[in-house]
A and B are shown apart, each in its own frame.
Chain A
Amino acid sequence: MSGVALLIDSVTVEFGSFRAIDMLSLAIDFGEVRAVIGPNGAGKTTLLDVISGITRPKQGRVIFDEATDITRASESAIARAGVRRKFQKPSIFEGLSVQQHIAIGAQGALRRSLSEDALINRVDEMLEAVGLADLAQRSASELAHGQKQWLEIGMVLASNPKLLMLDEPVAGLTEEETERTVALVRNLKRSDRAIVVVEHDMDFVERIADRVTVLHEGRTLFEGSMANARADERVIDVYLGR
Chain B
Amino acid sequence: MKPLASDRAFLLLLAAVLAVALLLIISIATPFGLSAYLSNAIGQLAAFAVLALSLDLIWGYLGILSLGHGLFFGIGGYVVAMHLLKHSYEVTGRVPDFMQFMGWSEFPFYWAGFGFFPYALLMMVAVVLLISGVFGYVSFRSRVGGVYFAIITQALVYVAMLLMFRNDSGFGGNNGMTGFAVVFGWPIGLNGVVIAMAAGSVLVLGMTLLGCRMLLGSRFGILMIAARDDEVRLRTLGYETLRLKLVVWCLSALIAALAGMLYVPQVGIINPRLLAPELSLEIAVWVAIGGRGHLIGAVIGAVLVNAVKFWLSTAAPELWPFILSGLIVLVVLVFPNGLIDLAKLKLARPMGVQRLSSETPELR
Contact of A104 with B237 in the complex, beta carbons under 8 Å: yes
B26 within 8 Å of A (CB atoms): no
Contact of A93 with B229 in the complex, beta carbons under 8 Å: yes
Closest-by-CB residue of A relative to B244 is: A110
Contact of A93 with B239 in the complex, beta carbons under 8 Å: no
Contact of A110 with B237 in the complex, beta carbons under 8 Å: no
A92 within 8 Å of B (CB atoms): yes
Task: State the CA gap A109–B240 with chains docked (Å).
Answer: 7
B306 within 8 Å of A (CB atoms): no
Question: Provided the pairs A110-B240, A110-B244 are in contact, do residues A96 and B226 lie with their beta carbons within 8 angstroms?
Answer: yes
B273 within 8 Å of A (CB atoms): no
B8 within 8 Å of A (CB atoms): no
B228 within 8 Å of A (CB atoms): yes
Q: List, in ascending order, chain B residues with CB within 8 A of A84's CB.
A: 236-237
Partner pick for B238 among A91, A93, A103, A108, CB 8 A cutoff? A108
Nearest chain B CB to A148's CB is how many angstroms away? Answer: 12
Contact of A79 with B237 in the complex, beta carbons under 8 Å: yes
Partner pick for A76 among B225, B229, B230, B235, CB 8 A cutoff? B235
Task: State the CA gap A94–B241 with chains docked (Å).
Answer: 18
Partner pick for B229 among A94, A109, A156, CB 8 A cutoff? A94
Task: State the CA gap A91–B219 with chains docked (Å).
Answer: 20
B243 within 8 Å of A (CB atoms): yes
Interface residues on B, range: 20 to 34
Question: Provided the pairs A94-B229, A100-B222, A104-B223 are in contact, do residues A75 and B243 lie with their beta carbons within 8 angstroms?
Answer: no
Partner pick for B226 among A79, A87, A104, A109, CB 8 A cutoff? A104
Nearest chain B CB to A179's CB is how many angstroms away? Answer: 27
Q: List, in ascending order, chain B residues with CB within 8 A of A104's CB.
A: 222-223, 226, 234, 237, 239
Nearest chain A CB to B143's CB is how many angstroms away? Answer: 11
Closest-by-CB residue of A relative to B241 is: A76
Q: Return the CB mask of A103-143 against B: 1 if under 8 Å, else 0.
A: 11100111010000000000000000000000000000000
Question: Provided the pairs A54-B236, A75-B235, A76-B235 are in contact, do residues A92 and B241 lie with their beta carbons within 8 angstroms?
Answer: no
43-93 of chain A: CB within 8 A of chain B: 52-54, 74-76, 78-80, 84-85, 87, 91-93
Contact of B239 with A91 in the complex, beta carbons under 8 Å: no
Partner pick for A105 among B237, B240, B241, B244, CB 8 A cutoff? B237
Closest-by-CB residue of A relative to B225 is: A95
Question: Provided the pairs A92-B230, A110-B244 are in contact, do residues A85 and B222 lie with their beta carbons within 8 angstroms?
Answer: no
A155 within 8 Å of B (CB atoms): yes
Question: Provided the pairs A110-B243, A110-B244 are in contact, do residues A93 and B230 lie with their beta carbons within 8 angstroms?
Answer: yes
- Between B237, B240, B244, B293, the greatest number of chain A beta carbons within 10 A of the residue's beta carbon is seen for B237
Interface residues on A, range: 20 to 34
Partner pick for A80 among B219, B238, B241, CB 8 A cutoff? B238
Nearest chain B CB to A160's CB is how many angstroms away? Answer: 12
Q: List, in ascending order, chain A residues with CB within 8 A of B241's CB.
A: 76
B232 within 8 Å of A (CB atoms): yes
Task: State the CA gap A79–B232 with chains docked (Å).
Answer: 12
Question: Provided the pairs A91-B230, A93-B230, A110-B244 are in contact, do residues A75 and B236 lie with their beta carbons within 8 angstroms?
Answer: yes
B233 within 8 Å of A (CB atoms): yes
Question: Provided the pairs A104-B223, A110-B223 are in contact, do residues A155 and B237 lie with their beta carbons within 8 angstroms?
Answer: yes
Closest-by-CB residue of A relative to B293 is: A95
Contact of A76 with B239 in the complex, beta carbons under 8 Å: yes
A147 within 8 Å of B (CB atoms): no
Contact of A96 with B237 in the complex, beta carbons under 8 Å: no
Contact of A95 with B239 in the complex, beta carbons under 8 Å: no
Partner pick for A93 among B219, B225, B243, CB 8 A cutoff? B225
Nearest chain B CB to A158's CB is how many angstroms away? Answer: 9
- Between B223, B236, B238, B244, the greatest number of chain A beta carbons within 10 A of the residue's beta carbon is seen for B238
Nearest chain A CB to B2's CB is how many angstroms away? Answer: 11
Contact of B243 with A91 in the complex, beta carbons under 8 Å: no
Task: State the CA gap A215–B238 with chains docked (Å).
Answer: 28
Task: State the CA gap A85–B230 with chains docked (Å).
Answer: 14
Contact of A156 with B237 in the complex, beta carbons under 8 Å: yes
Task: State the CA gap A79–B234 with chains docked (Å).
Answer: 10
Q: List, in ascending order, chain B residues with CB within 8 A of A78's CB.
A: 236
A213 within 8 Å of B (CB atoms): no
Question: Provided the pairs A104-B223, A110-B243, A110-B244 are in contact, do residues A96 and B235 lie with their beta carbons within 8 angstroms?
Answer: no
Task: State the CA gap A22–B170 with chains docked (Å).
Answer: 61
Nearest chain A CB to B9's CB is how many angstroms away? Answer: 17
Question: Provided the pairs A96-B222, A100-B222, A104-B223 are in contact, do residues A79 and B236 lie with their beta carbons within 8 angstroms?
Answer: yes
239-295 of chain B: CB within 8 A of chain A: 239-241, 243-244, 293
A159 within 8 Å of B (CB atoms): yes
Q: List, in ascending order, chain B residues with CB within 8 A of A94's CB.
A: 229
Nearest chain A CB to B311's CB is how many angstroms away? Answer: 36
9 tightest A-B contacts by CB? A79-B238, A93-B229, A108-B238, A91-B233, A75-B235, A95-B225, A80-B238, A93-B226, A76-B240
Chain B residues with a Cβ under 8 A of chain A: 219, 222-223, 225-226, 228-230, 232-241, 243-244, 293
